[in-house]
Structure 1
Amino acid sequence: MSLQAILSNFALILFVLTVVTGVVWFLDVFYLAKQRRAKADAALAEFDARSAKLAAEGVQPDTRARSALASSILKQPAWIEYSGSFFPVIALVFFLRSFLYEPFKIPSSSMVPTLQIGDLILVNKYTYGVRLPIINKKIIEVNNPQRGDVMVFKYPKDPSLDYIKRVIGIPGDKIVYKNKRLSINGKELSYEPLSDYLDEERLTYYKQYLENLSGTAHKILVDDRAPPYISPPRVFPQHELCTYNLDGFACTVPSGHYFMMGDNRDNSEDSRYWGFVPDENIVGKAFFVWMNFSNLKRIGSFQ
């Protein structure tokens, strides 16, 4: 199995480990430990009877042997001891990762400059509702994604992959992307020019702007060398809600779906190319960089 496959099934692996170690722990507490206790009591009773007989004959019994006998019988087998030790730790990690916070690593430059390659981020798992692990079914409604949120979700084309982009459109929004400028429901977003951004990997500069998306100001990058034209994408569910032309595209976001784009606008494969993200694919809201081994200054909130 590849590393990618292992990572994509980590939640399932963690769940199985929690169940297995939990079953062993409960089995020991409520059954096996009692059996060992009963066996030890019987052995000690027999030992005490022999000791009493030796004492009656004037022989001093060995009390240390009694303690050693009890310890050897009551001692947990290694497989039970390790399972019992790991169970609370694994269960805690599973609970935290499934319902509270989950760590992710940024693998690509699609969210530059907000997120850099190598950023280790935390994702809030409950802000968009409590979901059952593994099957990702929402059981408790909390909040809905808002425009401007940085969201982790299951890639619609391959749910085994996790993607991270910014929420551009929520259900019912009419999105127009013309000449690399966004309009939502007929209102054009404001763009404040910033100093050019140097991509140190490609040794090239990009135009940088402060985009205001429903009150959420964030930096975006635009490559003036890339045309505004977006080639007609592969067919995706409800693709008829989008139209493409030489200047960009227009989409109406269907109910229960979200339109996502990367902040590195001309270097991001997002909803422009593979369509809308359904609510059931949502993983959580990204909000904090907890480590970047190449640049410790990256640590902190990016919202």
Structure 2
Amino acid sequence: MNYFLTYTVFVLILSVLMGISTWKLFKKMGHSPLFAFIPFYNYFIILKETKHPKWWAILSYLPIVGPIMMSVFHIYLMKKFGKTLFQNQLLTVILPFIYMATVNYSKDAEVEDENANDLFATEEEKETKKKDTFIGSITFAVVFATIIHVFVTQPFGIPTGSMERTLLVGDFLFVNKWSYGYRLPMRPVAIPFLQGTIMDTGQKGNPKDDPKSYVDGIKLPYTRIFQFNKPQKNDVVVFNYPQDSVHTAIDRKDPYVKRCVAVAGDTFEMRAGRLFVNGKPETVLGDQEVQHRYVVNTGSQLDIPALYKIYGFLPVVEQPAPMGSGYVYIFQGLTDKIAKEIKAIPQVVDMKEDITPRGEAAVYYKDQAKTKIDTTQSIFPVNKPWNQDWYGPLKIPKKGDVVTLNQETLSEYRWIISEYEHNSLENKNGKIFVNGKETTQYTIKQDYYMMIGDNRDASLDARFFGFVPEENIVGKPMFTWMSIEGAFKDSSSSYQAEGWRFRWDRMFKATNTGEANKTSYWWIAAMILILFFGWEYFVKLFRKKNTEE
């Protein structure tokens, strides 16, 4: 309810500004000045007077799309009163209500007779009109794509190997935003298609200083509608990275894709690199392959490019042996079958699975022995002697749970209380204060999930950044619409494949069925293309017939 109340206030403010800056223009067009203040109807009249489709008015206040459409409608109105120069249009877009007000309150603003202008138009004016028509077509193509991107489905690329071999580096997915209910946009004024920032200013600069793709000052609260399902165990889920400190807007944080291995109320655990939920070993689906990290010692150098061609994904770090001759290779993401085949290579002296010892911290200070955790990057929570192979048991918080707060448990619930559920939190003199009140308990306000990569030894996941709140959930990947080997560089490997190639066998296949042989959606893609080009052909034919008549 807070979302819609806030949204209504924004709409009313914009409508008042619209009315104040255009009411005289509405009067000169033969309408009541009060109509300039009525949301949606004011733009309906503008479209009617400028001979554009009147149903476009419903787009005028939609999040993200609305500001684009408003600018277009404002330009139409200014053209109606003879403001057709480029500088007029630029001022209309940059300072809409200020510029329109100057026209509104000027004495010489009069409605232009478009029919007379068309009758006596010069070749230059006709050419300008053609350009305007072309720009209008491009604008509405962008608007249509934005509507799909914001309200239906969003494209997503896989840049890392954390989900190998289920999702490959270079897979491009379409994410269904309605899988777990639709999360309404929280930053309604934004540049279409950009996630968080417009550009990266460089590694030396502070990422927080990069120009944002959205207006952070205009915000709406988190709300999800039509939520008939919640993430289930084994779902592949796209979510916004919870501990992204660059962006305060939840829906503008970096998108991640992992498998939901434990839901609210479950207990998660890793034992020697094997995953357990509620004390039981994980269920491995048909499209998953159990993978592990191995250390391989060889007498001579391996032909890594040849192995890469055979096995595809093969993150590997190569270094000379510290003592004597030979080489040491650290492989990540090897299945039992591939590990057995690599072990059989003649140059291999020995090979063993690399499991971090129990009780050894996950990340350490570079200049100290392996005794102290680096609290800026280590395992979650930071006060536990866990690592990625020996982890937990950890209970996943559930909405309504009453948890105990003390100096031991605070690390586990700190982000939930202060960041995810938006309370003030203080820890002073051994006492904990939530919203200014001393307490030893806290009631969880939403469900949380454990999101882990299928390639467990090469995945930055919930073992490091902690629980994923329900409000961060974007949706479920539907299908892979394109797959390009070599599209992204893998920082975990010292070897990179040269060039790139299409993986035709992966295109338009479902991504979230759990089956080894996934359904192909080629026929849907072909049908969409036929309908698109067929519709365009018949529209052109219809327009040509009307022109001839």
Normalised by the length of structure 1, the TM-score is 0.68
Identical amino acids, percent of aligned pairs:
28
Shift in CA distance, 120/195, structure 1 to aligned 2, threshold 3 Å? closer
Conservation of the 8 A alpha-carbon contact between 1:150 and 1:287: no
The one of 386, 389, 393 equivalent to 1:244 is 386
1:220-268: CA deviation from partner (whole Å, max 9, x where unpaired):
xxx9223364735747999399773784321111122110100001111
The one of 84, 91, 95 equivalent to 2:143 is 91
The one of 182, 206, 211 equivalent to 2:334 is 206
1:259-283: CA deviation from partner (whole Å, max 9, x where unpaired):
0100001111111111011112112
The one of 161, 165, 169 equivalent to 2:262 is 169
Whole-angstrom CA distance in 2 between matches of 1:238 and 1:263: 18
Gaps of 5+ in 1: 1-14, 45-65, 210-222
Name the counterpart of 1:148. 234
Letter matched to residue 22 of structure 1: M
1:16-74: CA deviation from partner (whole Å, max 9, x where unpaired):
6x445412332344563376994337968xxxxxxxxxxxxxxxxxxxxx833488779
Give the superposition deviation at 1:81. Answer: 4.6
Aligned CA RMSD, in angstroms, stands at 4.0
Conservation of the 8 A alpha-carbon contact between 2:380 and 2:465: no
Whole-angstrom CA distance in 2 between matches of 1:195 and 1:188: 12
Helix, strand or coil for the counterpart of 2:178?
A: coil
The one of 341, 345, 353 equivalent to 1:224 is 353
Name the counterpart of 2:73. 26
Give the superposition deviation at 1:104. Answer: 0.9
Name the counterpart of 2:224. 139
1:142-189: CA deviation from partner (whole Å, max 9, x where unpaired):
221111111111111215322111001111111122122222223333
Whole-angstrom CA distance in 2 between matches of 1:181 and 1:263: 11
Whole-angstrom CA distance in 1 between matches of 2:275 and 2:386: 14
Helix, strand or coil for the counterpart of 2:148?
A: helix
Shift in CA distance, 77/23, structure 1 to aligned 2, threshold 3 Å? farther
Name the counterpart of 2:161. 109
Give the superposition deviation at 1:141. Answer: 3.6
Whole-angstrom CA distance in 1 between matches of 2:263 and 2:167: 22
Name the counterpart of 1:54. none
Helix, strand or coil for the counterpart of 2:232?
A: coil
Conservation of the 8 A alpha-carbon contact between 2:381 and 2:466: yes
Whole-angstrom CA distance in 1 between matches of 2:290 and 2:160: 23
Name the counterpart of 1:277. 468
Whole-angstrom CA distance in 1 between matches of 2:383 and 2:291: 35
Name the counterpart of 1:298. 506
Structure with the bigger RCO (C-alpha within 8 Å, sep 6+) is 1
Give the superposition deviation at 1:77. Answer: 6.5
Letter matched to residue 145 of structure 1: P
244-253 vs 78-87, which moves further: 78-87
Conservation of the 8 A alpha-carbon contact between 1:171 and 1:258: yes
Helix, strand or coil for the counterpart of 2:167?
A: coil
Conservation of the 8 A alpha-carbon contact between 1:21 and 1:84: no
Letter matched to residue 386 of structure 2: Y
Letter matched to residue 113 of structure 1: R
Conservation of the 8 A alpha-carbon contact between 2:166 and 2:289: no
Give the superposition deviation at 1:78. Answer: 8.2
Conservation of the 8 A alpha-carbon contact between 1:128 and 1:284: yes
Whole-angstrom CA distance in 2 between matches of 1:91 and 1:194: 41
Name the counterpart of 2:97. none
Normalised by the length of structure 2, the TM-score is 0.40
1:69-116: CA deviation from partner (whole Å, max 9, x where unpaired):
488779866896565333322221121111211111100000000011
171-180 vs 254-263, which moves further: 171-180
The question of 1:39 aligning with 2:112 is answered: yes
How many residues align? The count is 254
Conservation of the 8 A alpha-carbon contact between 1:243 and 1:250: no
Letter matched to residue 259 of structure 1: M
Whole-angstrom CA distance in 2 between matches of 1:153 and 1:252: 20
Whole-angstrom CA distance in 2 between matches of 1:184 and 1:77: 65
Helix, strand or coil for the counterpart of 1:116?
A: coil
173-182 vs 268-277, which moves further: 173-182
Higher strand share: 1
Whole-angstrom CA distance in 1 between matches of 2:277 and 2:312: 29
153-162 vs 34-43, which moves further: 34-43
Helix, strand or coil for the counterpart of 1:104?
A: strand
Conservation of the 8 A alpha-carbon contact between 1:289 and 1:301: yes
Name the counterpart of 1:123. 175
Shift in CA distance, 238/261, structure 1 to aligned 2, threshold 3 Å? closer
Helix, strand or coil for the counterpart of 1:163?
A: strand
Letter matched to residue 454 of structure 2: D
Shift in CA distance, 71/202, structure 1 to aligned 2, threshold 3 Å? closer
Give the superposition deviation at 1:284. Answer: 1.5
Conservation of the 8 A alpha-carbon contact between 1:165 and 1:260: yes
Give the superposition deviation at 1:190. Answer: 4.5
